[in-house]
């Protein structure tokens, strides 16, 4: 079972949370997305036990929630007009 995709997904997720902690939200968002894509591939195409699939899906949900938050934050940050002197 080529679980290098699983390993890749885990590496990406770890990297994403490092970037997240380092406040590189743009990079963290991209990495969260990539890691979920890999996890999803593993769940769909690399037969895992139902239990393993369920726990991977739950992880995906967490990462997606976090990614959503980062996306919202970035959107707001970008829209933030430069504080014009009143």
Partner 1 sequence: AKASGISDEEIERQLKALGVD
Residue 84 backbone phi and psi in degrees, to 5: -70, 140
Residues 6+ apart with CB under 8 A from 59: 13, 39
Q: Which is nearer to partner 1, 47 or 57 (CB)?
A: 57
69 binds partner 1 (CB under 8 A): no
Q: Which is nearer to partner 1, 38 or 85 (CB)?
A: 38
- Of the ranges 3-11, 20-28, 53-61, which one interacts with partner 1 (CB under 8 A)? 53-61
16 binds partner 1 (CB under 8 A): no
- Say how many C-beta atoms besides its own lie within 10 A of residue 21's C-beta: 9
- Of the ranges 2-10, 12-20, 60-68, which one interacts with partner 1 (CB under 8 A)? 60-68
- Of the ranges 3-11, 13-21, 67-75, which one interacts with partner 1 (CB under 8 A)? 67-75
Q: What gap in Å lies between CA 38 and CA 85, rounded to an integer? A: 47
Q: What gap in Å lies between CA 58 and CA 65, rounded to an integer? A: 11
């Amino acid at each position: 079972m080529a679980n290098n995709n699983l390993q890749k997904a885990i590496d990406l997720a770890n990297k994403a949370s490092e970037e997240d902690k380092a406040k590189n939200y743009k990079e963290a968002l991209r990495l969260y997305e990539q890691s979920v894509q890999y996890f999803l591939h593993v769940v769909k195409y690399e037969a895992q036990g139902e239990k393993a699939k369920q726990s991977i899906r739950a992880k995906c949900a967490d990462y997606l929630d976090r990614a959503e938050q980062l996306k919202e934050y970035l959107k707001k940050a970008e829209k933030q007009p430069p504080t014009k002197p009143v």
